[in-house]
């Protein structure tokens, strides 16, 4: 995809990722080289505030933006104007002025994004004409994942595909590679989990080997069969890649890995005698977070056929979950060890509707600025600690009869 080539009408080109370009002063307004950037904004502010009241009208601020319009992408100018209009008293203080003009990610700037007036000055991004294939794809992703027009335009102008959505693509390629390798080595592709040597792989989570901590994460590279792999790969590419394009690899990777770990720990607590395979914990965390975000912002989500898309996603998830439940209670091909557990799916859903919803709720606000984020992080940490102690003490106290090691 790369950067936008030639822009369409009122469309920005060449924008830096995840920031608004800082406005350049005109030549006759440029201060001395030694002056700090804020000193320049102070000079401009004083020019608009001859009475030294500490405030300027939003009208003067709009005029100042218009005078710099050639230096600023159209959609980003609309964002700043919308932020200026969010001041109900019609005035902007000095600090807000500096934050808006220099585009600092301060709390006041983010609060303006979250609480400000969402009515933008010109037509919606969806009405832009003359876009090439790359631009239409980026616009489509914006409408699929972001509920606010102000955020969609901001994202559209900022996205450069650098870096690309590497996390979900890398995880998917690794899962497919391990599946093909196991298919060749076991000479079985359709339902690999029925092969007597399948659980001997050092990546599978097995209750007898729960002390090997890496298994709580690496089980995602093992799948029960081709239908298991196919549904998981389809969901995480169709949902995970667009989400990563908008929110970045760090946020999406956090939700995915948290769902994976929660899935295996949930199995170790609720289905203690069963092994775990598959990436369903991480996939269900992403999909459930995305669906919850759509439901919570239903009126703002302008994605096409959103009801149909939700229905398809729920049907695919139900089919995959139903397959896992059936397989769990189907007579095992290698008794006394049962087939893999389905509880990891439920652990992923729990992560998605808690941590995942907070991550996807706001495009620009930092996670550490959200109180609900810390509440869910605390809940997740408590669950992980509980599961760790459960794995250490509960198995011996309950005197469970575990299946023999593979």
Query: Tokens 């590279």, residue?
Result: 221
Residues 194-197: contacts with CB under 8 Å, at least 24 apart: 194/333, 194/334, 195/333, 196/333, 196/334
Question: Could you write out the DSSP letters of every residue in 156-175?
Answer: HHH---SS-SHHHHHHHHHH
* Region of residue 54 (phi > 0: left; psi between -120 and 50: alpha; otherwise: beta): left
Number of neighbours of residue 256 by Cβ within 10 angstroms: 30
Q: Does residue 68 carry a catalytic annotation?
A: no
Cβ partners under 8 Å of residue 282, min gap 6: 171, 220, 236, 255, 256, 257, 259, 260, 263, 348
Say how many Å lie between the first and final Cα of the chain, rounded.
46
For the chain, what percentages of helix, strand and coil (3-state, to nearest 5) are there?
65, 0, 35
**What would the two tokens of residue 372 be?**
């609900």
The catalytic position among 279, 280, 288, 341 is 280
Angle at 42 between CA 39 and CA 45, to 5 degrees: 155
The answer to whether 275 and 208 are in contact (CB under 8 A) is no
Comparing C-alpha atoms, which of 274, 287, 290, 285 is closest to residue 325?
274
Query: Tokens 């100018």, residue?
Result: 77
Q: Does residue 330 carry a catalytic annotation?
A: no
The catalytic position among 4, 87, 206, 345 is 345
Measured CA to CA, the distance from residue 336 to residue 267 in angstroms comes to 18
> Which residues have a catalytic role annotated?
280, 345
């Amino acid at each position: 995809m790369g950067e936008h080539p030639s822009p369409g009408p009122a469309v920005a080109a060449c924008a830096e990722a995840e920031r608004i370009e800082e406005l350049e002063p005109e030549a006759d307004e440029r201060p001395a080289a030694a002056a700090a950037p804020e000193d320049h904004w102070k000079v401009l502010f004083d020019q608009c505030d001859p009475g030294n009241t500490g405030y300027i009208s939003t009208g003067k601020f709009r005029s100042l933006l218009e005078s710099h319009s050639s230096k600023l992408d159209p959609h980003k100018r609309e964002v700043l104007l919308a932020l200026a209009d969010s001041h109900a008293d019609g005035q902007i203080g000095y600090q807000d002025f500096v934050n808006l003009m220099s585009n600092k990610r301060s709390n006041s700037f983010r609060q303006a994004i979250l609480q400000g007036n969402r009515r933008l000055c010109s037509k919606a991004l969806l009405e832009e004409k003359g876009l090439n294939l790359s631009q239409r794809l980026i616009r489509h992703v914006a409408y699929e994942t972001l509920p606010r027009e102000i955020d969609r335009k901001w994202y559209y102008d900022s996205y450069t595909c650098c870096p690309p959505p590497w996390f979900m693509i890398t995880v998917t390629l690794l899962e497919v590679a391990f599946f093909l390798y196991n298919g060749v080595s076991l000479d079985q592709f359709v339902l690999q989990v029925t092969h007597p040597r399948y659980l001997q792989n050092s990546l599978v989570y097995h209750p007898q080997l729960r002390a090997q901590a890496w298994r709580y994460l690496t089980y995602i590279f093992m799948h029960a069969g081709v239908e298991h792999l196919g549904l998981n790969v389809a969901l995480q590419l169709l949902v995970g890649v667009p989400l990563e394009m908008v929110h970045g690899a760090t946020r999406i990777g956090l939700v995915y890995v948290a769902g994976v770990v929660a899935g295996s720990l949930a199995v170790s607590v609720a289905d203690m005698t069963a092994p775990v395979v598959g990436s369903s914990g991480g996939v269900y965390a992403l999909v459930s977070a995305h669906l919850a975000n759509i439901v919570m912002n239903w009126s703002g989500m302008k994605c096409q056929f959103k009801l149909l898309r939700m229905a398809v996603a729920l049907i695919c998830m139900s089919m995959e979950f139903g397959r896992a439940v059936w397989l769990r209670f189907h007579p095992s091909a290698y008794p006394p060890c049962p087939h893999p557990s389905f509880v990891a799916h439920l652990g992923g859903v729990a992560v998605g509707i808690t941590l995942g919803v907070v991550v996807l709720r706001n495009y620009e606000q930092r996670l550490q600025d959200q109180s609900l984020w810390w509440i869910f992080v605390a809940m997740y940490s408590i669950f992980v600690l509980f599961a760790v102690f459960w794995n250490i003490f509960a198995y011996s106290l309950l005197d469970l009869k575990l299946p023999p090691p593979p």
